[in-house]
Amino acid sequence: MKIGFIGLGIMGKPMAANLIKAGHELVVSAHNEAAASELAQLGASTARTPREIAAQVELLITMLPNSPQVRDVALGTDGIVGGARSDLIYVDMSSIAPAVAQEVAQALAERGVKMLDAPVSGGEPKAIDGTLSIMVGGDREAFDQVHDVLAAMGSSVVHVGDIGAGNTTKLANQVIVALNIAAVSEALVLAQKAGVAPGAVVEAIRGGLAGSAVLEAKAPMMLAHEFKPGFRINLHIKDLNNAMDTSEDIGAPLPLTAAVLDVLRLLDAEDHGGEDHSGLVQYYEELAGTRLESS
């Protein structure tokens, strides 16, 4: 399949590379010149604008920072809407507000374009190895048409409902992840302060009910104080802002999420925004006047 891909950042570039490895013909945005050059060496071609890309592909995928960028790429000057064929399928894999996904889908539907919102979970490591979790909202027939393409980037590809449902699912995911990271941080700092090796605590509890993917992925980073970003604090803030906006719109309060969001904002203000979200532990260390030790 000939596929367009726009958004070659920390997640998008390896996702695009996996599509090439799966045998698809790719046209990528030249906006990020370094990333586009790397993918060109793998066989991708490039184009300057979303409109140019949309005019030559069957499927167009975007992986962008937030709602404004998706709206602009899809509907703005030289956007997808200006070049799309009536049989184009557009899959936005960004994490955005569900209402914006619905707005963009409605505008594109007037041109005969079917849109899916398909945000992902797993961070850079799973983007690289092609094992992302992909949650998809939109037309079921369109989903069936692109399922195998999405499976080249993820180990789990699940249709969750109508357009916007993908991003609602992602917001739920991000709420759970944020609260889990906060809980692991609190627990390990508690152990450290009490004189119990936090690494031993992790080993003791990982096989029980407290065990989780968050514990396995993030506790080692906390213990090593290694916060190279797989998923940055400032991106998690963006997602939780979208969650809070959505919760207000529909009347579903998120008090625990609001508390963790305040902590993430504080860390961002202290220049930790570019670190991995496991760096949340630094807030609790500072409160307790201690620092985790690996042994």
The CATH number assigned to the domain holding 32 equals 3.40.50.720
Last residue of a domain, one of 136, 162, 188: 162
Q: Are strands 2-6 and 25-29 parallel, antiparallel or unpaired?
A: parallel
**pLDDT of 133 higher than 90:** yes
Query: Do 256 and 118 belong together in one domain?
Result: no
Residue 191 lies in a domain: yes
Last residue of a domain, one of 98, 128, 162: 162
Query: Which of 126, 170, 228, 238 is an active site residue?
Result: 170
Q: How confident is the model at residue 175 (pLDDT cuts 50, 70, 90)?
A: very high
Is residue 170 annotated as a catalytic residue, yes or no? yes
| ∠ CA 109-113-118, rounded to 5° | 95
Q: What value does the mean pLDDT take over residues 65-72?
A: 95
Query: Do 186 and 104 belong together in one domain?
Result: no
- The CATH number of whichever domain residue 261 belongs to comes to 1.10.1040.10
Helices marked H in 195-254: 198-205, 213-224, 233-250
Distance CA 289, CA 275 (A): 21
Residue 185 lies in a domain: yes
Total structural domains in the chain? 2
Residue 262 lies in a domain: yes
Range of the domain at 247: 169-288
Q: What is the pTM of this model?
A: 0.92
Query: Do 39 and 184 belong together in one domain?
Result: no
Last residue of a domain, one of 107, 133, 162: 162
Query: Do 129 and 14 belong together in one domain?
Result: yes
222-265 per-position pLDDT tens digit: 999 999 988 899 999 999 999 999 999 999 999 999 999 999 99
